[in-house]
Every structure is written in C-alpha cells, then in structure tokens.
C-alpha cells in the first residue's frame, strides 16, 4: 500500500472514530490487516476489542506485529519492532558494517494496553495481560498478569487485581 494512501486512510479512520465509533471499531482492524498486521477476522466479533486511532505501529515490516482477539489498545501506544541503535553501534566497530535489529511483537487475546505504553522489539504478551499506562515493555510475559513501570515488571495476577477492584466497588 502506497505511503500517501496509508496517510489518507489513517486520517479517514481518525475522523470515522470521532463521528461513528461503532463503524470505526468494526472497520479499523481490516485496515490494519491490509497493512500487514496479524489480526484475526474475528478480532471485533465480541465487540470488546478496540484499537485507538492514535496507536503508532512503527514497523519496517508490519507482519512482525500480532494482536489477539478482543484486545484493547489505548491512545498513543507505540509498537516498535526495530532498533537502529544496533546499526549505529556496529558502525562504530567498522564503518562498513550495517545491520537492522528487527524483532516481532505479539499481544495475546483479551488484553489491555494502557495509554502511552511502549512495546519494544521482541515483546510477547500472553492472554489477559493488563499493561499499565506509560509502561516500557520488553521481553515475554505470561498469561493473566498485570505489568507496569519502566522497565515493565509483573505487579500481580490479573484475577487478584480484578478482585481488589470488585471488592472496593470502584467501578461503574
């Protein structure tokens, strides 16, 4: 897909999100699939999945990104599948050396990624993972955990976290 067409479509989806959120939620995953991101046809089937229009997929190869069904990705989250600092480091050893550092990012089903989190190359999140806002995530995390911080680390189990909020009745 041409870079200009992608930019125009990205603006279209931002407007669609503003004026017709339900249509946006149903259509945006298809656009991401067309870009090459691995997202299933059933992503929005349960109507619990959402990907904010401001999510930045900074990838040389969008096929390196996988998003599980019914996952919510909040505003300004960054998916970064490359790190060009490796190339610069190699050039310090020998100016003729070049190299790209590309690693996939995989997010499991029914997960939540908080606002402005950054997912670095090589990140793998299991199912039912909650990522705190602003977290810088690198590495593998199992199913059913809450992670937060910089660098992100496991805070507790998802069911423990949910039980605390249920008992505190701090939800609507």
* Active-site position among 82, 110, 128, 165: 82
pLDDT digits (tens, 9 = 90+) for 39-71: 988 887 777 889 999 999 987 789 999 999 999
Alpha carbons 163 and 82: distance in angstroms, whole number: 37
Residue 1 has pLDDT above 70, yes or no: no
The percent of residues above 70 in pLDDT, for the chain, comes to 99
pLDDT band at 86 (very low <50, low <70, confident <90, very high): confident
**Residue 61 lies in domain:** 3-168
CATH of the domain at 16: 2.160.10.10
Closest C-alpha to 118, from 146, 85, 148: 148
pLDDT for res 97? 77
Is the Cα dihedral 122, 128, 134, 135 positive or negative? Answer: negative
Q: Is 82 a catalytic residue?
A: yes
Alpha carbons 160 and 120: distance in angstroms, whole number: 27
Alpha carbons 84 and 133: distance in angstroms, whole number: 25
Q: How many structural domains compose the chain?
A: 1
């Amino acid at each position: 897909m041409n870079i200009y067409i992608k930019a125009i479509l990205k603006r279209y989806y931002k407007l669609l999100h503003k004026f017709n959120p339900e249509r946006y939620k149903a259509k945006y995953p298809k656009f991401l699939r067309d870009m090459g991101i691995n997202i299933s046809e059933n992503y929005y089937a349960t109507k619990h999945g959402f990907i904010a229009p401001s999510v930045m997929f900074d990838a040389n190869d969008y096929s390196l990104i996988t998003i599980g069904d019914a996952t919510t990705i909040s505003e300004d989250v960054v998916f970064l599948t490359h790190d060009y600092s490796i190339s610069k480091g190699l050039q310090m050893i020998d100016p003729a050396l070049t190299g790209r550092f590309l690693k996939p990012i995989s997010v499991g089903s029914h997960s939540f990624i908080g606002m402005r989190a950054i997912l670095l190359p090589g990140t793998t999140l299991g199912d039912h993972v909650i990522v705190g806002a602003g977290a810088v995530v690198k590495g593998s995390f199992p199913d059913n955990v809450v992670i937060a911080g910089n660098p992100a680390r496991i805070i507790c189990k998802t069911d423990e976290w949910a039980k605390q909020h249920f008992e505190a009745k701090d939800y609507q």
